[in-house]
Amino acid sequence: MGGFARYEPGAARQTVDVQVRRAMGGDLVRCAELIVSRAGGSVDERRRRLEADLADPERYTVVAEVDGEVVGYGAVIRHQVAPTDPPGTAPDGYYLIGLIVSPDRRRHGIGDLLTRERMRWTARRADEIYTFVNLANGAVRDLHERFGFTEVTRDFTFPNAPLEPGTCVLLRAVLGP
């Protein structure tokens, strides 16, 4: 498993021609491979979950392509607190999840492009957006700060997310003009 990107604040960005677009069925194996490279698990299982995401109008999956190859993935989901969820569950709303860029394509601004597109899609549906980030992932924390995300809490749970207490921060950004 690849883990988080090495944190290099102020590192020079390289320029590449990137196309960011809605994911299609043919992209899902590559997206699943990216997810498994960081989080482990089965490519087939991840692909099946991504197929279900494509069919859900409250979810939006995007990819970044360079020279016809999918090199990045990100998604938005709509979360609603269930009556059976424990106290401290993250609030209802849209959430940015799963931002992954192929290690050989990091530091090209691809994460920014994927984040901008997911926020654009969400802004047509909501006035705010959430995400949660591992405190050890400085690169992604900085990325979200650039997009106006601010800390809500470090004391929360999120259904089906393997969050270790005290390791993540819940962030929120206001959307709009």
Residue 72 has pLDDT above 90, yes or no: yes
The three-point CA angle 32-38-44 to 5° equals 25
CATH class of 19-174: alpha beta
pLDDT the model gives residue 137 = 87
Coil, strand or helix: which one is 112? helix
pLDDT for residue 12 = 44
Which of 106, 17, 137 is closest to 145 using CA atoms? 137
Q: Exposed (0-12), middle (13-18) or buried (19+): which is 15, by Cβ within 10 Å?
A: exposed
Q: What are the pLDDT digits (tens) for 130-140?
A: 999 999 888 88
| Straight-line distance from the first to the last Cα atom of the chain, in angstroms, rounded to the nearest whole number | 39
Statement: residue 54 has pLDDT above 70: yes
Q: Kindly state the average pLDDT of the residues 7-22.
A: 68
Supply the pLDDT for residue 84. Answer: 93
The pLDDT value given to residue 51: 95
**For residue range 25-46, what is the model confidence (pLDDT) as tens digits?**
999 999 999 999 888 899 999 9
In the sheet with 168-174, reading across from the earlier edge strand, the strands are 19-22, 60-66, 69-79, 93-101, 128-134, 168-174, 150-153
> Which pLDDT score is estimated for 2?
44
Boundaries of every domain in the chain? 19-174
List residues bridging with 60 in a β-sheet.
76
Contact 151, 169 (CB under 8 A): yes
Please state, for a pLDDT cut of 90, what percent of the chain lies above it: 69
Residue 14 has a pLDDT of: 53
Task: At 93, give phi and psi (nearest 5°).
Answer: 150, 180
pLDDT at 164: 80
Asked if residue 106 has pLDDT above 90, the reply is no
Q: How far is the C-alpha of 161 from the C-alpha of 153, rounded, in Å?
A: 16
What span, in angstroms and rounded, lies between the C-alpha atoms of 1 and 69? Answer: 21
Q: What is the pLDDT of residues 144-171, one digit of tens each?
A: 999 999 999 999 989 888 778 788 999 9
